[in-house]
Amino acid sequence: MSFTWHLLFSSGKEDVLRKKCTYMYDGPVLSFDRGIDKRYFALTTAVSENQARNNLTFRYKMEKGFAPNARISLPGKIILVT
């Protein structure tokens, strides 16, 4: 039991304790620094802005048929909704 507790609450796992918030992205999508979509709008829930960006990038890849390891970036601002 104490080993599991240590894994959940050790450094690097602080996100386990943080509340998920809703984030929004409304902006361009790039692949290898070249615009492939002028506007992409999506919402996600995550514990941090960085995790939200990762979630939204992965969702874009799945929606548009890209491989999970494709180089796609969302250069616009991630907005905290709640």
- pLDDT tens digits along 12-56: 555 556 799 999 999 999 999 999 999 999 999 999 999 999 999
Q: Are the C-beta atoms of residues 72 and 29 closer than 8 Å to each other?
A: yes
Domain-embedded: residue 56 = yes
Domain-embedded: residue 73 = yes
pLDDT at 21: 96
Domain-embedded: residue 5 = no
Give the domain range for residue 74.
17-80
Amino acid at 21: C
Domain-embedded: residue 48 = yes
The domain total for the chain is 1
Q: Is pLDDT at 75 greater than 90 in this prediction?
A: yes
Q: What is the DSSP letter of 16?
A: G
Domain-embedded: residue 21 = yes
Between CA 72 and CA 69 the distance in angstroms is 9
Strand locations in the chain (E) = 21-31, 34-46, 72-73, 78-80
Quote the pTM value.
0.77
pLDDT at 82: 87
Q: Is pLDDT at 8 greater than 50 in this prediction?
A: no
What integer is the mean pLDDT of 49-76? Answer: 96
